[in-house]
Each structure stands twice: as structure tokens, then as C-alpha cells.
Amino acid sequence: MFGQYSGFIIPSYLISAAVIAGLVVWTVLVYRNRRAEILELEKRGVKRRYQKEAE
């Protein structure tokens, strides 16, 4: 597809995409886990200082 250099171009795009996707997935998963954990703690009745401002 890119001539003789496809062996270098395709991996570099694939690796970049993989690293960026990894970052995004990791960030989103961490966010979900932490939010679930906070909801869980709140359900158990733990209050935090800014309770009134929480959604």
C-alpha cells in the first residue's frame, strides 16, 4: 500500500493507535471504577465534606 516502506509505516500507525487507545481506555476504566467505588461508599453512609454539592 505504501510501497517498500509499508513495513515501517503501518506498525508506527498501529503502535501509536494502540498506545493512544490504551491511554483512553485506561483513563475511562479508572474513572468508572472510582465513581462506582464512591457511590458504594456513599451508599454505606460515608459523608464527605462537599456532600451538598454532589450530584
Residues near other proteins, by CB under 8 A:
2-6, 8-9, 11-13, 15-16, 19-20, 23-24, 27-28, 30-31, 34-35, 37-38, 41, 44, 46-50, 53-54
Rounded least distance, CB 12 to other proteins, Å: 4
How many Å apart are CA 40 and CA 46, to the nearest integer? 9
Half-sphere exposure of 39 (CA within 13 A, CB side): 7
- Among candidate residues 29, 32, 35, the one with its CA nearest the CA of residue 55: 35
C-alpha cell at 9: 509505516
Closest approach, Cβ 35 to other proteins, in A, equals: 7
Shortest distance, CB of residue 52 to other proteins, whole angstroms?
9
